[in-house]
Amino acid sequence: MAKVFTFRMISGEEDGFVRDFEVRGDQTLLQLHEAIRGNLGYDPGLMSSFFTTDESWSKGIEIPLINMTGEEGARTMENTRVEELVTRKGDKLLYVFDYLANRGFFMEVVEVIDPASGQEYPFCSRAAGDPPPQMLLDDLAGDDLSSENEDLFPGDEDDLLSDGFENLDDLPEM
């Protein structure tokens, strides 16, 4: 029978935030993703990814929620089992929950045990602190980009059309 991995999940944004998730090695990253999102109250459909890491948390292989390459057989959360990425205590993953802002959680295997009889996996076995808020596109729509990002958008927005450019048909031939 598959071993159970206990992941300790912490945030670089919220000091008191800690979650432990127990998941069987033969379960998929999608099942772990859904348990995390359910526990934190995050929208499970927003783009996210797991990443393998080295000892200093540098990103390695990406395992996204959906196949973004279009290649048949590309690795996704749905077709990747936990035991394919972690095998022992101390193994690490990054879980990026806010893909646009590159925000995520640090996850480290803190225990490897046999499954408990009758226990449903995955589940959250420890919860402390409040999770960082999940950024939604609706939240960004109300921001005033012109004052905050003047260097990115110099001048008046009407200047964008001053050179006779009104649509893609006005672009010069390449």
pLDDT at 52 over 70: yes
- Give the start-to-end residue ranges of the domains of the chain: 4-138
- Please tell me the CATH code under which domain 4-138 is placed: 3.10.290.30
pLDDT digits (tens, 9 = 90+) for 4-17: 999 999 999 998 99
Report the pLDDT value the prediction gives residue 104, as an integer from 0 to 100. 94
- What is the per-residue pLDDT for 146? 39
Confidence of residue 19 (pLDDT cuts 50, 70, 90): very high
pLDDT range class, residue 28, cuts 50, 70, 90:
very high
* pLDDT per residue as tens digits for the range 113-159: 999 999 999 999 999 999 998 874 544 555 444 344 344 334 443 44
* DSSP string covering 113-126: EPPPTT--SSEEEE
pLDDT digits (tens, 9 = 90+) for 55-97: 999 999 999 999 888 888 899 999 999 999 999 999 999 999 9
Cis, bond preceding 132 (omega within 30 deg of 0)? no
> Can you give the pTM of this predicted structure?
0.77
Residue 4 near residue 114, CB atoms below 8 Å: yes
